[in-house]
Amino acid sequence: MKKTFQLNVEGKNRDRVLEATKHEIRQYIKRERRKTLPEGADFWDFDCQFGTRPDNAQGVHLATLTALIDAVDKEGGDAFYLELLAKPGYRGARAGAEPADNEAP
């Protein structure tokens, strides 16, 4: 998804447009996560770019999207750009984690 979301739409309440935008983003993420994973992948990960315009978008974490959208709203911004690209994610071994033994103490 590469899209510029307008927050000021004539004839529509800004708060409702904001909530509809967040809903659309959540639905896109859910739809992408339902797709079949490639062989060996553990989960769907997302590359996220966020900014007020496409030329100033920076990489952000998926979990921070709602806070960033709310910040644009509080600043009175008219629009924001969001780029979400799904990619297969792979879990690595935890640092310092010992292998589990099958022995009972």
DSSP structure string for 67-103: HHHHHHHHTT-SEEEEEEEEEEE-PPPPTTPPPPP--
- pTM of the prediction? 0.82
pLDDT, one tens digit per residue, over 39-86 is 999 999 999 999 999 999 999 999 999 999 999 999 999 999 999 999
Domain assignment present for 83: yes
The one-letter amino acid code at 8 reads N
Domain assignment present for 104: no
| Tokens 């709203």 belong to residue | 73
Domain assignment present for 99: no
- Indicate the pLDDT class of residue 94, thresholds 50, 70 and 90: confident
- Structural domain including 46 reads 2-89
Q: Give the integer Cα–Cα distance in Å for 75 and 72.
A: 5
Domain count, the chain: 1
